[in-house]
């Protein structure tokens, strides 16, 4: 039996393969295994299988919190895991590094919080951010909401059971604004290009050197949206925030454009453009694309 088969067979993290693609679930295991192997190449085969199973169960637990739209305390998390110490957050470091980031999820570790503040422990937060996602402490509430709004967990992990009410510290019921929905869609599209739908590549960012994680990319795109006043960097066209169901124009919806196509989706190399402008630019320089698009718009107006 392969390592992947063993992990699939013993998966008990509050999820099941029902309703998901077995290929996607297997690819998720492969992604976690590759991330672990890359970071800890000397792990024995049996230990690697055990750690993959643990990380898989932990990410499923956090995804259950997101699906249930709730925060949980460190103590409640340990009770749900069935093992560990509430004073030791190393498991959160590992689930972020080996599952959340490689799979392209929002930073689900933000859902495990102190009872009083409803945020992660400040000391642990600052220590972890030095080596994991670079979310600023002021961005925690926004990232918690994004965890709840994200809809792709079950596509990867299978059906997820809700967290029992007795373990729920608080609910996050804020509806997702249109702007946030559009930014999440654009970021997901960019991450899909980076990692071929987030599942087929074993290590994120291989073809797009220096690309940011979902939490970092989302925070950056929100800042760029404000900086560009919700308009395309190449044409000045306002982004259409309407969904498909509401009659939104695909060509006018926001997308992420790499200024230098030799680099990844990283700070200083991203501008927000409409989907039409992104396709029209192709491999042209930014100045050339802007000039041609302006000429095109003028000809259309004439």
Calpha distance 164→107 (Å, rounded):
22
Q: Does residue 186 contact residue 254 with C-beta atoms inside 8 Å?
A: yes
- Which among 85, 81, 99 has a CA at the least distance from the CA of 163? 81
Burial class (CB in 10 A: 0-12, 13-18, 19+), 264: buried
Largest separation between any pair of C-alpha atoms in the chain: 70
Q: Specify the 3-state DSSP secondary structure of 248.
A: coil
How is residue 257 written in tokens?
Answer: 């454009």
Residues 6+ apart with CB under 8 A from 165: none
What distance in Å separates the CA atoms of residue 261 and residue 107, rounded to the nearest whole number? 27
Measured distance CA(19)–CA(108) in Å, rounded: 22
Q: What is the pLDDT, as a whole number, of residue 204?
A: 44
Q: Which residues contact 85 (CB under 8 A, 6 or more apart)?
A: 78
Instruction: Tell me the angle at which helices 3-10 and 45-68 cross, rounded to the nearest 10 degrees.
Output: 40
Rounded to whole angstroms, the Cα distance separating 152 from 103 reads 10
pLDDT value at position 5? 52
pLDDT tens sequence for the chain (302 residues): 455 555 544 444 555 545 445 567 788 899 999 999 999 999 999 999 999 999 999 999 999 999 999 999 999 999 999 999 888 888 998 999 999 999 999 999 999 999 999 988 877 666 665 456 667 778 889 999 999 999 999 999 989 999 999 999 999 999 999 999 999 999 999 988 876 534 334 344 446 778 888 998 999 999 999 999 999 998 899 999 998 888 888 899 999 999 998 889 999 999 999 999 898 887 777 778 777 776 555 555 54
> What pLDDT, on a 0 to 100 scale, did the predictor assign at position 124?
67
Q: Nearest CA to 146 among 183, 121, 199?
A: 183
Q: Indicate if the alpha-carbon torsion angle 189, 133, 125, 76 is positive or negative.
A: positive
Sequence-ordered list of residues with C-beta below 8 angstroms from that of 45, at least 6 positions apart, any chain: 3
Q: What pLDDT is stored for residue 174 in this prediction?
A: 94
**C-alpha span between 40 and 93 (Å, rounded):** 14
Query: In the prediction, which pLDDT does 2 show?
Result: 52
Per DSSP (E only), the strands in the chain are: 15-16, 70-73, 112-113, 159-160, 170-171, 254-258, 270-274
Give the integer Cα–Cα distance in Å for 75 and 165.
15
pLDDT of residue 87: 83
Q: Are 70 and 169 in contact (CB under 8 A)?
A: yes
Q: Are 149 and 176 in contact (CB under 8 A)?
A: yes
| Cα separations in angstroms, 284 against 72, 101, 258, 281, 287 | 48, 31, 11, 5, 8
Distance CA 216, CA 212 (A): 6
pTM, two decimals, is 0.81
């Amino acid at each position: 039996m392969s390592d992947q088969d063993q992990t699939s067979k013993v998966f008990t993290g509050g999820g099941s393969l029902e309703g998901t693609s077995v290929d996607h679930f297997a690819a998720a295991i492969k992604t976690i295994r590759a991330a672990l192997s890359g970071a800890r190449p000397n792990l024995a085969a049996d230990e690697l299988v055990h750690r993959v199973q643990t990380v898989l169960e932990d990410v499923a637990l956090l995804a259950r919190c997101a699906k249930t739209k709730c925060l949980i305390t460190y103590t409640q998390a340990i009770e749900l895991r069935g093992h560990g110490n509430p004073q030791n957050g190393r498991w959160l470091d590992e689930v972020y590094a080996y599952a959340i980031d490689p799979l392209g999820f929002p930073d689900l570790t933000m859902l495990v919080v102190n009872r009083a503040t409803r945020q992660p422990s400040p000391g642990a937060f600052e220590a972890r951010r030095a080596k994991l996602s670079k979310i600023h402490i002021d961005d925690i509430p926004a990232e918690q909401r994004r965890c709840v709004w994200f809809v792709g967990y079950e596509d990867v992990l299978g059906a997820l059971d809700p967290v029992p009410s007795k373990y729920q510290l608080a609910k996050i019921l804020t509806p997702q604004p249109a702007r946030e929905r559009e930014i999440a869609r654009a970021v997901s599209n960019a991450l899909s290009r980076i990692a071929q739908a987030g599942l087929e590549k074993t290590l994120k960012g291989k073809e797009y050197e220096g690309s940011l994680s979902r939490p970092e990319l989302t925070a950056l795109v929100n800042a760029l949206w404000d900086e560009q006043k919700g308009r395309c960097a190449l044409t000045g066209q306002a982004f259409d925030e309407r969904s498909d169901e509401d009659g939104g124009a695909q060509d006018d919806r926001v997308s992420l454009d790499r200024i230098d196509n030799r680099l990844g989706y990283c700070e200083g190399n991203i501008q927000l453009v409409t989907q039409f402008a992104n396709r029209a630019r192709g491999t042209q320089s930014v100045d050339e694309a802007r000039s041609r698009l302006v000429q095109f718009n003028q000809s259309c107006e004439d």
